A and B are shown apart, each in its own frame.
Chain A
Amino acid sequence: MTTETVARIPLVDYLVLEDPPHLVAHECTSCGARFFDRRNACASCFGTEFRSAELPTEGELVSFTIVSFAAPGVPVPFVAGVIDLDGTTVRGNIVNTEPDTEHVTLGMKVRLTTFSIGSDDNGVEAVAFGFEPAS
């Protein structure tokens, strides 16, 4: 008997897929500012030392838009949102709910969720994240 493991890769390097899936940030060791992309120096205090910081997976939707018109190839409609994860602001799509203002509201509680966006020629599965209603 063999256990088949599917190789997986996160859509972006600040998404960690294991135990349970969560986001990480580069945190400035002098001022605590957090960045999702690599930085040469801290935009806030110019410090150059960073450590990894795990972000909570639950937060509050502080802004959103329902995009109905996007560039070719981008499926619409979708909800783009800004989420406050206990003091760290992140962006992500609001998923697993209808993309309308009945179901998506300012201040709603959301939690991180992940989903496959397909496999490549080597069978590696790319995994993206979004936020779903947490109520």
Chain B
Amino acid sequence: MNDDIFILGITMTKFGKHPDKDAVDLGAEAAMNALADGGVTMADMGVLAAGNLMNAAAGFGQQLQKQIGQTGIPVFNVVNACATGATALRTAIMAVKAGECDMGLAVGVENLAGAGLLAGGFGKPDGHTWEPSGRYGAVAPVDGRIGTDTMPGTFAQVGMEYLHEHAYSGEAFEMFAKISEKNHSHSTLNPLAAYNKLMTLEEIMGDIMIAYPNTRPMCSANCDGGAAAVVVSAEKLKTLSLEQQRRAVKVSASVLTSDPYTEGCQVLPDVNTLTRSAATQAYEEAGVGPDDLDLVELHDCFATAELVHYDNLKLCEEGGAVEFFESGATWRDGDMPVNVSGGLQSKGHPISATGIANIWEVCHHLRGEAGDRQIEGATVGLAHVIGLGSACGVHILEKAA
């Protein structure tokens, strides 16, 4: 029996500001469009996996069903930081793969427009008497006193650590800013991106510094958005129309990892080891290598993160990420186009939607439906997300035969 899994329908909403829509509205829009894209209805779904990080305790999946169809199927409300969307998809895939059902729906949505820093801060004011508390016995908040808990600062250190490990001697700030220049340039072709304005290197470097070397446009944009996907078993797909079969995209690998212990991971999250492990497993499972990829959507939550993931996803030689980037390979006309959607820096990063939206981007190209930004002849693509804590999702997708 063929136990392959396919994406039958998939969509993302426009990312940006949706002040008139709440998370359920955005989720309903994404889910109903994904069902319509796949030519199926809620009656066909055997499982729902749903993620909405900011209201994790609210039972988002059940709230969503009340707007799009209550059929009594099992709902898995999932949470995995920035990998929540990929985790929802992975959950639906596992259910179908396990034979529990032959179709499943995964939805991720977030309302983040206008949100500021999503971590860090003193939390509560310093007390009038020093009282040790917490696992470090801290008498006062430590963010800003013992390093930084902010995401821009954390990922800035991830990128800088890579440069130190590989004895980089160039201009770090400019090199990272050029990665952002690429993604902002790519975004001009993406009408669903939150920001699709071309930005010059000077504009990027001259913008507000958030955490050196990341200026504001080098950071992922908080915004609203939703994404959803319908997955189907190979056996079930065979019973559907030829058009549905033609547009279906094969999930050649679906991998989720957490961070194994490494020295130093308690100090600076190690986003490398779990990504490298997920990529290794995914290539093995799919039977393809990095050279087979026509496009990659990777988790560029910050410009400094994109660099290290070139290496972690084995798109380049170990230690060769800077050289690889500077060769022009990752621009949309290069050998290994990365983030042709504009990436999180311009497309936006509505957390739980991100891990499905990047798969939508890859599917869009594999189906030959990406319009102006189509990567011609794309047949294999990879989508990667990482959520600090940590969780990493890697999916490899292939055009159906």
Contacts and interface: CB of A to CB of B under 8 A. Distances in A.
B64 to A, nearest CB: 32
B160 interface: yes
B259 to A, nearest CB: 10
A106 B128 contact: no
A120 B157 contact: no
Contact of B212 (A10, A37, A71, A101): A101
- Chain A, interface size category, equals 35 or more
Contact of B153 (A75, A80, A87, A121): A80
A128 B145 contact: yes
B267 A78 contact: no
Contacts of B389: none
Interface in B125-156: 125-130, 132, 135-140, 142-148, 150, 152-153, 156
A12 interface: yes
A53 interface: no
A38 interface: yes
Contacts, number: 159
Nearest to A118: B126
B161 interface: yes
Given A70-B143, A75-B144, A90-B267, A64 B121 contact: no
Contacts of B156: 65
B164 A70 contact: no
B148 to A, nearest CB: 4
B267 A80 contact: no
Contacts of B130: 9, 120, 124, 126
Interface stretch (B102-110, B203-211, B279-287): B203-211
Given A36-B266, A81-B147, A65 B136 contact: no
A50 B34 CA distance: 52
A91 B157 CA distance: 11
Contacts of B36: none
A122 interface: yes
Contact of B211 (A69, A75, A81, A89): A69
B16 to A, nearest CB: 22
Interface in B151-197: 152-153, 156-158, 160-161, 163-165, 173
Contacts of A63: 157-158, 160-161, 164, 268
Contacts of B128: 120-121
Nearest to B125: A73
Shortest Cβ-Cβ A-B pairs, 10 listed: A71-B121, A13-B137, A89-B264, A74-B144, A65-B156, A63-B161, A91-B147, A37-B135, A66-B212, A80-B148
Interface of B: 117, 120-122, 125-130, 132, 135-140, 142-148, 150, 152-153, 156-158, 160-161, 163-165, 173, 208-214, 261, 263-264, 266-268
23 contacts: A11-B139, A11-B146, A12-B137, A13-B132, A63-B158, A66-B212, A67-B148, A68-B208, A69-B150, A70-B143, A71-B122, A72-B122, A74-B120, A82-B264, A89-B264, A89-B267, A92-B146, A93-B144, A101-B212, A106-B160, A117-B145, A120-B129, A126-B130
Given A65-B211, A91-B267, 8 more contacts: A12-B142, A35-B266, A62-B164, A67-B212, A71-B122, A73-B121, A78-B144, A88-B263
